Amino acid sequence: DHQCVLTGEWVNDLGSNMTIGPVNTEGKFDGSYLTAVKKAPGKIHISPLAGYQHATNIWRQPTFGFTVNWNFTGASPSPASLQYPQSSLILPVMFPNDPPINSITVFTGQCFVDDGGKETLKTMWLLRSAADNIKDDWKATMVGTNTFTRRY
């Protein structure tokens, strides 16, 4: 019966788009993610993702996990959090007008296939953004859910 392989185009309840490439024999895959929402101002860019799903030949409804490495602006880093001492010379050169975002999201979930063969990815995610100071660590991780369906 129909098995769920994550390869292909997906859209979630927020309108974010995800493209997943081939899944290899060990269940590993790469892909890209274009989020429809973000926390801080700045242009959104497609970001890379990498993950695993359980080998589909034994599971009809495999569990999976993947990490999205955000590579666009968001909350700009405070000078204190930057590697280099605050020097006006360096900052504009390093981050001309697009300060990097220091955050990452891990998604984990399962693919469900209904009687008609329609696939749904039920996921939960943790979004970690950089805190300037360990005392702010407690407020640096957000959690949520997303449901994905195929984007035909």
Ligand X SMILES: O=C(CCCC[C@@H]1SC[C@@H]2NC(=O)N[C@@H]21)Nc1ccc([N+](=O)[O-])cc1
Q: Which residues sit at the interface with ligand X, rule CB under 6 A?
A: 12, 14, 16, 35, 37-40, 70, 74-75, 101, 103, 105, 125, 127, 129, 144, 146
Minimal distance in Å, beta carbon 75 to ligand X?
3
Nearest to 40 by CA among 98, 113, 111: 98
Of 53 and 129, the one with the shorter C-beta distance to ligand X is 129
Task: Report whether 109 contacts 90 (CB < 8 A).
Answer: no
* Pairing of β 63-69 and β 103-113: antiparallel
Minimal distance in Å, beta carbon 50 to ligand X?
15
Minimal distance in Å, beta carbon 60 to ligand X?
26
Tokens found for residue 135: 């005392």
Of 53 and 146, the one with the shorter C-beta distance to ligand X is 146
- DSSP structure class, residue 78: P
